[in-house]
Amino acid sequence: MTLLLTQPSAIAHWVNNQTGDRAKRFRGLYHLNAFDLGLLIPYFIVMVILAFYGIHRYQLVWLYYRNKNKQARSAQAPQVFADGELPFVTVQLPIFNEQYVIDRLIDACCRLRYPRDRFEIQVLDDSTDETQAVAADVVRRYAEGSAGLLPQPVYYLHRSDRYGFKAGALDAGLKTARGSLIAIFDADFVPPPDWLEKVVHHFAEAEVGMVQTRWTHLNRHYSFLTEVEAILLDGHFVLEHGGRSRAGVFFNFNGTAGMWQRRAIEEAGGWQHDTLTEDTDLSYRAQLKGWRFKYLQDVECPAELPIEMTAFKTQQARWAKGLIQTSKKILPRVLRSDAPFHTKLEAWYHLTANLSYPLMIVLSVLLMPAMIIRSWQGWVQMLLIDFPLFMASTMSISSFYLVSQKELFPGRWYKTFLYLPFLMSLGVGLTITNTKAVLEALFGIKSAFARTPKYRVQNKGERNLAAKKYRKRLGIIPWIELAIGCYFAFTVWYAVTSENYFTVPFLLLFVFGYWYTGLLSLLQGRFERAGKPGSEFHEKPYPVGV
């Protein structure tokens, strides 16, 4: 057995050159080896499943372009409200421990252009730290008009129990909200002054229940990590939302930078907190009730990207867990509904996509032994079978994000090629964190709503006390990521020595992905980003104008 593992090429060469009965018996034993089949069968099952999810990315690109003439635009609302008939809008701002960004958010919302007799702002504060005092003071000054503006219809509501987390806060706000339309912005967003004007008229169509707008990024160029994060989100908002909305299938509200018809929320059963993605949960329930959703790709709402790996992983794990929780809750209803088959199929792909993370763990375990076994069978079979599966499951990622960047930045999209290897590696590096989140969802393990820290850092060289105050604990996961990266470094060495050269680029993505996420999780926060000479940690004053 040791000889077989250490000298596969020599053994395969020996087997292929044997003649007579002994060779036939040896070849028969080799081809019927139960151990080999026990490894190869799950290996190919995983690869085929991942390939189907990869092919689905191509389908989203196809839907996006096939239905391009069905794109909804801000300036092309089929109907509009007359000036005297504009609906009352409640702007809800759910926050939790956001002392460094809350003034920026309130300032931006108070500058939204909309008749003040048809408009109110609710600051829904669940904070347990100094944010309570900061937010209350900012609200008081804007309400009194002492911030250099006319008095604003802004109100401060604080909860001490945090029941239901964000969903609970939004639900509590609805009890006193006066608006028939509900706009929602998270703490790290800065809506532009014309946001309401561009969105509100789409609700003149009575069947429209929600309008989502596209996120853009305040600190896209802060670091290499934020550049990659921006590309990931752009792919979601251009091709996933764009493809689904244009094709008329279900898609989701993203929890912020969108507006709801209040009746849609109420008829769908209101905000529920039994999943961590209450926005997706409510979205599917509302669409199952017959409400139509719109996505306005040309309406932008800038927000702050996580600048640290641990914050980014916290965000991604919450989304991964929440979507699986939502799939367990909602998919049976979708499949039993009278929705068209293609809508049900798209819902399946959307809500179960994060199952690919535990599948990647299985693939990681099986890759090395499968590669040894496959090398005995010759490179031709690997090229004809393994390579197409790798292409379907991984190369679709490249095309997916290249297309999204070409749509948004037609003059400089080609620069995305520089980021593609790192983007794919980052997706691999999230495997451990997101697999843990997915398994917790599958086994019904509950957890609190883990907020993504907002640091109010936009430009290179900036630092802020929030980065130190709100930094997450690391745990053992970064060390596991580094160890798995070492395992894949060994697989690279083996692939080179066994002349399986075409697998090397793929394996290097695993090495870099696990090492990159592991090292950044450990090192970020140990060494603060160097600022300009003489700069020190500082708290930014409030309020700050947009």
Which residues are annotated as catalytic?
126, 279
The answer to whether the beta carbons of residues 260 and 181 sit under 8 Å apart is yes
The answer to whether the beta carbons of residues 251 and 211 sit under 8 Å apart is no
Q: Which of 398, 387, 362 is nearest to 500 (CA)?
A: 387
Q: Which of 390, 453, 452 is nearest to 424 (CA)?
A: 390
For 295, phi then psi, to 5°, come to: -125, 125
What would the two tokens of residue 249 be?
A: 């299938």
3-state DSSP helix/strand/coil percent for the chain, to nearest 5? Answer: 60, 10, 30
For 158, phi then psi, to 5°, come to: -115, 135
CA pair distance 110, 131, nearest whole angstrom = 19
**3-class DSSP assignment, residue 59:** helix
CA pair distance 199, 178, nearest whole angstrom = 19
Q: With 0-12 CB in 10 A as exposed, 13-18 as middle and 19+ as buried, what is 133?
A: exposed
The answer to whether the beta carbons of residues 96 and 216 sit under 8 Å apart is no
The answer to whether the beta carbons of residues 299 and 200 sit under 8 Å apart is no
For tokens 């802060």, name the residue. 222
What would the two tokens of residue 70 be?
A: 């069905």
Helix axes of 341-352 and 309-336: crossing angle, nearest 10 degrees: 150
What would the two tokens of residue 303 be?
A: 């927000």
SS (H, E, C) 411-470: CCHHHHHHHHHHHHHHHHHCHHHHHHHHHHHHCCCCCCCCCCCCCCCCCCCCCCHHHHHC
Parallel, antiparallel or unpaired: strands 258-261 and 208-217: antiparallel
Helices (H), 145-194: 165-174
CA pair distance 509, 326, nearest whole angstrom = 30
